[in-house]
Amino acid sequence: MRRLELFLVLGLLALAAVAVSLGESQFSAAQYHQAFADPASPPGEVLWTIRLPRVLMAALIGAGLGLAGATMQGLLRNPLAEPGVLGVSATAGLGASLAIAGGLAALPGAVEASALVGALAAGVVVIGLAARFREPEVLILFGVALSAFAGALTALVFNLSPSPVATAEVLAWLMGSVENRDLTDLARALGPMIVGAGLCMYAAKGLRMLTLGEEAAQMSGLPMARLRVAAVAGSALLAGAAVAAAGVIGFVGLAAPHLVRAAVRDDPGRILRPSALAGALLLVAADLAARMIPTEQELKLGVVTALFGAPVFALLAWRAARSWRA
Amino acid sequence: MTAAWTLDGLKAQRGKALVLDGAALDVSPGEVLGVVGPNGAGKTSLLRAGLGLMPLEAGRALLSGRPIAELNPVERARLVGYLPQERRLAWNLPALEVAALGAPDLPPGEALAVARDRLDRTGAAALADRGVLDMSGGERARVLLARLLATRAPLLVADEPVAGLDPDAQLLTLELLRDEAARGAAVVVTLHDLGLAARACDRLVVLDHGRVAAQGAPMKALSPQVLAEVFRLDGALVETPAGLVVVARRRGA
């Protein structure tokens, strides 16, 4: 257990070092030396003010999405759940689209704030539904409806937008990226992420108890209503902050818990921290791939994760469906 | 002695339908009470409403003499352990971890020690490290029973604990619950097999349309008249060297 986390931390550090070292501009040994000796030198600038914040951002977003996914899987007792399922990603995307189309993109932090508001709105709706309905399937179905509705409204924003520039901007943003992020962006994302992570960790014991089913958990003596709200609010906050900071990046919340599930023997509480670490690893790797794959236009991070993630989702669904039939 | 669980005049609705219409039961420490009745008679609703899991229209529900609505989750869990009918497990946790979920009030080390002891009691000690989804239904039933026993509650409520089990596992499950009663617990089980209920329970409550149709010692509660009116069976409870059995055929058949 501890060994797994240590292993993931070491892997993350090693990968981050590689991700900071590699990029479009290739440096000689002397230039690397210069970057370390003098951070203000041109190679130093590239490493420490361009690549490092980007790598840190990818790690933070990945960790948030991994933790949010693991929390939602535990809450909904379903290995196919992830932030997209509750409609959180879609409403956050809608919030950002409205801000961009409304001409607020020039205002620093406005798009981010709008996305976070969208995510939290979905969170409030989901908390209300979770208090009313105990069955996890209900939440998934409402999530599908919420996603579809937010998607329709986003399409409406495109449809009615008079400016093709704004439309292109929204599209680019919806594809997800951690390009050109600085430490201010990082600091802005960190607050809601820490609160969200705290709420998810607090809910861990409730997620374990839910293994037994809703009614047994309710009778277990744990304050399940409170833990359930903490899990929903925490994962909404994490996913919302992630979308606010980097656009819509799918499937990390699905794949990260899947990677570590066997190592924690399926435990929905103990899986949380390793899922965050695995999410960070995945997204740093995906961003490195987005940067290093030679294409005319730099690949968008959300496109890379979707290309790899969607088949993983299909594979998991295939396996789940086979076990249902057995 | 205060009854471990007293339900009196319970009325409850599911949707528009009245599922409990004045149902009642009481059970004392050391006693195994069986709740029987045809499908839809309100057995599960009686347990759920009596535990505060579904809203009551009317009636009294007391755990160890205290109104259930006044208990917080911790107090309620200290007074009752519940094994719901729905026994689908979401994750493939090791049996020991699942059994330990019965004791969330204890520090992890102690909870595991209790879990190990209860797995031993249910004859599942050898399964401690096995994933619960990799087990047979009978093995999993032992693990879930160990989880119930790990609550250490003075009242144990099990909804259809033998459903889907082979005869040996059914008898074992009821034997283990009887052992808990001998240790001082009050035990309430719902059962469909009337013969099994008659042999395993000290007293029976027969439910029909959300009301108590009969109650008392098995011989009295399952009289030929009750079998006819509630279960639509022509027959009787018969004493055999192996215990009570129900000999019956469908009415009019």
Q: What chain B residue is nearest to A270 in terms of C-alpha separation?
A: B93
Provide the pLDDT confidence category of residue B191 given band limits of 50, 70 and 90: very high
pLDDT at A31: 87
**Domain assignment present for A39:** no
Lowest mean pLDDT among A99-113, A278-292, B49-63: A99-113
Task: Give yes or no for B9 touching A (CB within 8 A).
Answer: no
Which ipTM did the prediction report?
Answer: 0.92
Which helix (H) or strand (E) element contains residue A22? none
124-143 in chain B: CB under 8 A from chain A = 131
Among partner residues A212, A215, A220, which is closest to B89 by beta-carbon distance?
A212
Q: Which residues of A touch B50 (CB under 8 A)?
A: none
Among partner residues B76, B80, B91, which is closest to A266 by beta-carbon distance?
B91
Count of Cβ atoms closer than 10 Å to residue A36 Cβ:
12
pLDDT at A30: 87
pLDDT at A113: 85
**Domain assignment present for A38:** no
Q: What chain A residue is nearest to B100 in terms of C-alpha separation?
A: A209
How high does pLDDT run on average in chain B? 94
**Domain assignment present for A41:** no
Is the CB of A223 less than 8 angstroms away from the CB of B73? Answer: yes
Is the CB of B104 less than 8 angstroms away from the CB of A209? Answer: yes
pLDDT at A324: 60
Residue of B47, B48, B93, B144 for testing the chain A interface, max A β-carbons within 10 Å:
B93
Is the CB of B53 less than 8 angstroms away from the CB of A215? Answer: yes
Q: Which residue has the higher pLDDT, A102 or A151?
A: A151
Task: Give yes or no for A224 touching B (CB within 8 A).
Answer: yes
pLDDT single digits (tens) B88-99: 898 999 999 999
Residue A77 to chain B, least CA–CA distance (Å): 6
Q: Report yes or no: A241 and A196 within 8 Å, Cβ to Cβ.
A: yes
Is the CB of A219 less than 8 angstroms away from the CB of B101? Answer: no
CATH number of the domain encompassing residue A136: 1.10.3470.10
pLDDT at A323: 64
Lowest mean pLDDT among A10-14, A24-28, A97-101, B150-154: A24-28
Task: Give yes or no for A70 touching B (CB within 8 A).
Answer: no
pLDDT single digits (tens) A18-77: 999 888 778 888 888 888 888 888 888 888 888 999 999 999 999 999 999 999 999 888
**Domain assignment present for A37:** no
pLDDT at A125: 85
Q: Report yes or no: A39 and A226 within 8 Å, Cβ to Cβ.
A: no
Burial letters for A230-258: b for 16+ Cβ neighbours within 10 Å, e otherwise? bbbbbbbbbbbbbbbbbbbbbbbbbbbbb
Lowest mean pLDDT among A108-117, A203-212, A300-309: A108-117
Q: Report yes or no: B41 and B207 within 8 Å, Cβ to Cβ.
A: yes
Mean pLDDT along residues B170-186: 95
pLDDT at A136: 67
pLDDT single digits (tens) B207-217: 999 999 999 99
Residue B8 three-state SS: strand
pLDDT at A169: 79
Residues facing B94 on adjacent strands: B131
Interhelix angle for A252-260 vs A52-76, to 10°?
70
Mean pLDDT along residues B137-160: 95
Task: Give yes or no for B222 touching A (CB within 8 A).
Answer: no
Q: Which residues of A touch B78 (CB under 8 A)?
A: 221
Helices (H) and strands (E) in chain A, counts: 14, 0
pLDDT at A313: 79
Provide the pLDDT confidence category of residue B112 given band limits of 50, 70 and 90: very high
Residue A132: pLDDT over 80: no
Lowest mean pLDDT among A135-149, A207-221, B13-27, B45-59: A135-149
pLDDT at A144: 87
Domain around A132: 12-19+46-321
Residue B155: pLDDT over 90: yes
Q: Which residues of A touch B90 (CB under 8 A)?
A: 77-78, 210-211, 213, 268
CB hemisphere CA count around B176 (13 angstroms): 26
pLDDT single digits (tens) B34-46: 999 999 999 999 9
**Domain assignment present for A40:** no
d(CA A177, CA A304): 10
Task: Give yes or no for B73 touching A (CB within 8 A).
Answer: yes
Q: Which residue has the higher pLDDT, B131 or A104?
A: B131
Q: Which residues of A touch B131 (CB under 8 A)?
A: 265-266
Residue A325: pLDDT over 70: no
Task: Give yes or no for A211 touching B (CB within 8 A).
Answer: yes
Is the CB of B104 less than 8 angstroms away from the CB of A215? Answer: no
Q: Which residues of A touch B87 (CB under 8 A)?
A: 213
In angstroms, the Cα distances linking A312 to A13, A31, A301, A309, B16 are: 25, 40, 17, 5, 44
Structural domains of chain B, with CATH: 5-86+154-250 (3.40.50.300)
For chain A, the domain total comes to 1
Task: Give yes or no for B43 touching A (CB within 8 A).
Answer: no
pLDDT single digits (tens) A168-198: 878 887 888 888 888 888 888 899 999 999 9
pLDDT at B253: 67
